[in-house]
Amino acid sequence: MPIEFTQLLLPALVSAVLVFIASSLVHMVIKWHSSDYRKLPNEDEVRAVLNRGGATAGQYVTPHCKDSKSMEDPVQQQKMKDGPIAVLWLRQPGPMKLGPFLGKWFAYTFVLSLAAGYVASITCMTGAPYETVFRIVSVAAWLGYAGMGPTYGIWKGQPWKAIAKETVDGLVYALLTAGAFGWLWPG
């Protein structure tokens, strides 16, 4: 018997709660990612330059090339040679309010869980064995949680050590998601 989409809601909610708790432990208790971010030696100077330049919230790259033709310019090539080469994300100034971030994260984990469950629902019927549901959901969820990590290392220069940690995080979240779906799969 096919799975109704509404039957995916409870396992998605349970898995979102489990992932939210696990990620809170990883980031706030274990603090595994604390070493992923370093302080600039001249942080105050960099902040002052960014403030003077009037940069607003957004994504920036330096040196900036508007197209591939501008990369042939000797001045641009010298900038690339001299460095630094940076990708920079700026947020709106003001105190950090975790509530909106946590709310968006929870919503993301719920939607990702629904998507992983949906993949299982088109390949598994009602009453499918735990192991079958677990395998399908874990792969789909892992791709959702960790699939883009290598792209950031390749194109944006994110350190591979940080990507490896995020990939492990994604695996833990995927296993929790798969466990919830395997446990609560409609029978």
Task: Mention every residue, 6+ apart, whose C-beta is less than 8 A from residue 86.
Answer: 60, 61, 62
Model confidence pLDDT, tens digit, residues 132-185: 999 999 999 999 999 999 999 999 999 999 999 999 999 999 999 999 999 999
Identify the pLDDT of residue 66.
87
Yes or no: say if 169 and 147 are a contact pair by the CB < 8 Å rule.
no
- Rounded to whole angstroms, how far apart are CA atoms 110 and 94? 28
Region 87-103: mean pLDDT is 93
Yes or no: say if 135 and 119 are a contact pair by the CB < 8 Å rule.
no
Model confidence pLDDT, tens digit, residues 20-64: 999 999 999 999 999 999 999 999 999 999 999 999 999 999 999
Residue among 145, 138, 125, 123 at smallest CA distance from 181: 138
Residue among 23, 182, 71 at smallest CA distance from 116: 182
Yes or no: say if 126 and 186 are a contact pair by the CB < 8 Å rule.
yes
User: For the chain, which residues make up each domain, given as ranges?
Assistant: 5-40+96-184
- Rounded to whole angstroms, how far apart are CA atoms 183 and 120? 13
Identify the pLDDT of residue 94.
92
Task: Mention every residue, 6+ apart, whose C-beta is less than 8 A from residue 92.
Answer: 57
pTM: 0.90
Written as six digits, the tokens of 58 are: 């957004």
